[in-house]
A = this chain, B = another copy of it.
Amino acid sequence: MSVIPPATPSAHAVPDSVLAELPAPAAPLVEAPAPPRRSAAEEARTLVADAKLGALASITADGDPWASMVTFADLDGEPVLCVSRLALHGRNLDADQRASLAVTAEVPPGADPSDHGRVTLAGHVVRPQGAERERAEAAYAEAIPSAGVFARFDDFTFWVLRVERVRWVGGFGRMASVTPPAYREAEPDPVGSFPAFAVSHLNEDHADALLAMARAVGGHPDATAASCLRADRYGLDLHVHTPRGEAEARVGFAAPARERDGLRAATVELTRRSRALLA
């Protein structure tokens, strides 16, 4: 688990005229050690473990790129596909096993998809053999119930993507490449890549708790309002309003959540701790 630096516009080629319009974020008033967050490898693994629908890039007989939607299962980080040779992407993979799969986190209605997590895996697909084939078929059958019928048609082929390249984008200014070994070894976050229900519940019903976190442990004791941008097993990303401007702040849990519904207990503890510090 490493710390990813926060968004910085300086990587982009921002003209001075645009830069002048961008509000400078308010710096924390209180310095504190940066709370832990998911590493890029954990972000990538979590996105793949969470999704069942991805976008495949394959190569046509003419050498052209071809994008198509595919359902897939996660086999320890390696996507399992089951595609028909009647479909162009199936014929493409039969002839050329180079492939890439892009997966995106759930984007809540009305949210900006540019500011949500996605990951690209790239490598080669192989036909799994022996025990791996059994595990691949079982994983696919569990993820995609309708495969109970179509996976048994003779025109369908199981493929496993051997991951040779991983590129993660978390949203504006949050991105990193990940080595294949780090990707394979990373544990998927049990709370999911973007726990949309928890985030909207915090924002709708617990704005006071988020404000206490921002003031007590978020570095902004003068905060006037706070909302939750993202949540993961290690903590929350907050959007904070202060009289000095707006800021993003990271607040960490006492211990990482270990289960899918572990965010509730972790945020309750963080709220109590924040309120005790402010009392």
CB within 8 Å of B: which residues of A?
A: 9, 11-15, 18, 22, 52-60, 63-69, 71, 84, 86-88, 98-102, 104, 107, 112-115, 118, 120, 122, 144-146, 149-150, 152-156, 167, 169, 172
Contacts and interface: CB of A to CB of B under 8 A. Distances in A.
Contacts of A145: 112
Given A69-B55, A71-B113, A150 B104 contact: no
A113 to B, nearest CB: 4
Nearest to A164: B64
A123 to B, nearest CB: 9
A194 to B, nearest CB: 14
B65 A113 contact: no
Given A65-B59, A66-B120, A98-B64, A12 B146 contact: no
Nearest to A147: B114
A12 B68 contact: no
Nearest to A118: B69
B66 A100 contact: yes
B68 A102 contact: yes
Copies of this chain, count: 2
Nearest to A21: B149
B153 A100 contact: no
A153 B55 contact: no
Nearest to A101: B67
Given A53-B107, A57-B65, A149 B101 contact: no
B100 A65 contact: yes
B146 A13 contact: no
Contacts of A150: 12, 114, 172
A102 B87 CA distance: 14
A71 B169 CA distance: 13
Contacts of A57: 55-58, 65-67, 100
B112 A152 contact: no
A164 B266 CA distance: 52
Nearest to A177: B88
Contacts of A65: 57-59, 65-66, 98-100, 122
